[in-house]
Amino acid sequence: MRYNVDLHSHSGYAGGVGKISLPGVAATMAKKGIDAFGVGDCLQPAWREKFADLLEEREAGLYALRGAAGDGRKARFVMQTEVIFTSAVPSGGRKATHTVLLFPNLRAVDAAIALLLRWKVKLDMGRPFIKCADAGEVAEKCSGFMKIDPRTMVIPAHVMTPRGVFGSDHPVDRLSDVYGGFAREIAAVETGLSADPALLALLPELDGTALISNSDCHSEALARVGREFTALEITRPTYEEIVLAIRERRILLTAEFDPAEGRYFLSGHRAGLSGHGGIGCWFSPDRLPPGCLCPVCGKKLTIGVLDRVLHLSRVQTGGRPRILGETRPNQKAVTLVPLVEVLAAGLGVASTAGRRVNDLFETIIGETGTEAELWDLSPGEIEARFSPLLPERAVAALAEVRRGNFSFQPGYDGEYGGLRLGEKIAWFGQAGIANGD
């Protein structure tokens, strides 16, 4: 059976999180077509107590809201958190590497909390910082989590963004530069919003590694939950079967952002930085200024995912980089745009949370059942089915996205990319300096 999972999220105990509650998330999951969802920040003691009161174990390692109906399509929650390993790296200084942990049950969560307390790790934040001397100690700590239960998973998070293992903040060239000997045990990495399997296919080190996609969402909004997800082939809905499907690469597909929509795709500086006076700038790899120095403030630019992927491809292939667009990904992916974003763009409105957009969203899923099922329709089926129900501009926008006739003005330095329907914007040849307004 196909099972859609979104295994990276955050609670209100992590920074930068808006309104989020498990009942609210469950309601959004039903609309988006997500079967299992990471509970987020499960090692934070106050949040652990709150969600434990709301949830009950329904299938082995899968939790449901207490009193919720019990079929396999109802919302299920997986014990999940993100931790930050800080360690010295070969490039100098200390890198803070975001890493997703999945646990098989609440008992394993409690054992992990006890382990962190023995390591004298502070647990008041949603993402605990685990201070390590070097990659060898990171490996020891990862192995410590695995000893709690071998079904635990350690997954490098959003691997190409600045705080991912391959990101630009204190950059490294190999997984082992951060995870030491434990790198051999890593079965999966998370692509993140600014990368996808086609880009990661340029990195030989990941050839045998499963690639999963998650929303890393900070709210229960329709534009956040399930904006990326992974479709698995499982025999029955249990935590262990989810883990086995990932490790055995029974991945039907990953649903991906267009990487250019991600917040760190190109190198640049956002307008809100000190010394920028409301001016932002961005550059594709072929347009980088000398020394990667910002022409506005003179400091080094935040290096984007596209630059990092091309650099790592040169390093990991010994100077014979793989060719973007010609190197075949090791698994299937589909590029999606959150439905509320498509509707907002089609209507020409700024907000994805307004009543007009929400009403159209509800009309669509009233017909299809979930957002995920909408994108299984062909462009012609979309036009035939929804022309009597939706404004012409909204139907045209849906069909254009399904045809792949869209692109994004690329994101950079924490700024999301902007959707352009009916346009194809190349990833290269990009450079700009503009007011942040």
CATH number at 158 reads 3.20.20.140
Please report, for residues 80, 112, 274, the alpha-carbon distance to residue 123 in angstroms, rounded to integers and kept in the order given: 15, 11, 31
Write the CB contacts of 131 (distance below 8 Å, at least 6 apart in sequence).
86, 87, 121
Number of domains in the chain: 2
Tens digits of residue pLDDT in 357-408: 999 999 999 999 999 999 989 999 999 999 999 999 999 999 999 999 999 9
Q: Give the domain-ending residue among 213, 244, 259.
A: 259
Write the CB contacts of 396 (distance below 8 Å, at least 6 apart in sequence).
346
For residue 122 the two structure tokens come to: 């502070």
Q: Give the domain-ending residue among 208, 242, 259.
A: 259
Closest C-alpha to 396, from 352, 345, 433: 345
Does 7 share its domain with 134? yes
Per-residue confidence (pLDDT) for residue 74, from 0 to 100:
87
Return the half-sphere exposure (C-beta side, CA atoms, 13 A cut-off) of residue 228: 28
- Is the distance from CB of 69 to CB of 45 less than 8 angstroms? no
CA angle 146, 214, 261 (to 5 degrees): 140
Residues (pLDDT < 70) of the chain are 69-73, 436-437
- Domain assignment present for 250: yes
Per-residue confidence (pLDDT) for residue 18, from 0 to 100:
74
* Spatial separation of the C-alpha atoms in residues 100 and 158, rounded to whole Å: 9
Does 186 share its domain with 98? yes
Per-residue confidence (pLDDT) for residue 17, from 0 to 100:
80
**Region for residue 348 given its phi and psi (left: phi exceeds 0; alpha: psi -120 to 50; beta: otherwise):** left
Tens digits of residue pLDDT in 224-275: 999 999 999 999 999 999 999 999 999 999 999 999 999 999 999 999 999 9
- Is the distance from CB of 103 to CB of 80 less than 8 angstroms? yes
- Domain assignment present for 356: yes
Return the half-sphere exposure (C-beta side, CA atoms, 13 A cut-off) of residue 118: 9
* Spatial separation of the C-alpha atoms in residues 196 and 188, rounded to whole Å: 13
Does 362 share its domain with 216? no
Per-residue confidence (pLDDT) for residue 437, from 0 to 100:
46
* Spatial separation of the C-alpha atoms in residues 11 and 30, rounded to whole Å: 19
Does 102 share its domain with 202? yes
For residue 334 the two structure tokens come to: 């589909």
- Domain assignment present for 420: no
Q: Which domain holds residue 244?
A: 2-259
Within a 10 A sphere around the Cβ of 93, how many other Cβ atoms?
A: 8
- Domain assignment present for 180: yes
Closest C-alpha to 87, from 98, 78, 99, 95: 95
- Domain assignment present for 278: no
* Spatial separation of the C-alpha atoms in residues 41 and 45, rounded to whole Å: 9
DSSP string for 385-429? HHTTTS-HHHHHHHHHHHHT-EEEE--BTTBPPEEEET----SSS
Instruction: Find the helix or strand (DSSP H, E) in which 80 lies.
Output: strand 76-88
- Domain assignment present for 273: no
The alpha helices in 222-338, defined as continuous H runs, are 239-247, 305-316
| Strand pairing category for 210-212 and 188-190 | parallel
User: Considering the entire predicted model, what is its pTM?
Assistant: 0.95
**What interhelical angle do 45-54 and 22-32 show, nearest 10?**
60
Instruction: Find the helix or strand (DSSP H, E) in which 24 lies.
Output: helix 22-32
Closest C-alpha to 105, from 63, 153, 43: 63
Dmax (CA) for the chain in angstroms is 63
- Domain assignment present for 181: yes
Per-residue confidence (pLDDT) for residue 436, from 0 to 100:
56
> What SS3 class is residue 366?
helix
The DSSP code for 181 is G
Length of the chain: 437
Per-residue confidence (pLDDT) for residue 396, from 0 to 100:
97
Q: Give the domain-ending residue among 259, 278, 310.
A: 259
- Domain assignment present for 389: yes
Does 246 share its domain with 363? no
* Spatial separation of the C-alpha atoms in residues 123 and 385, rounded to whole Å: 51
Per-residue confidence (pLDDT) for residue 72, from 0 to 100:
43
Per-residue confidence (pLDDT) for residue 406, from 0 to 100:
95
Write the CB contacts of 376 (distance below 8 Å, at least 6 apart in sequence).
none
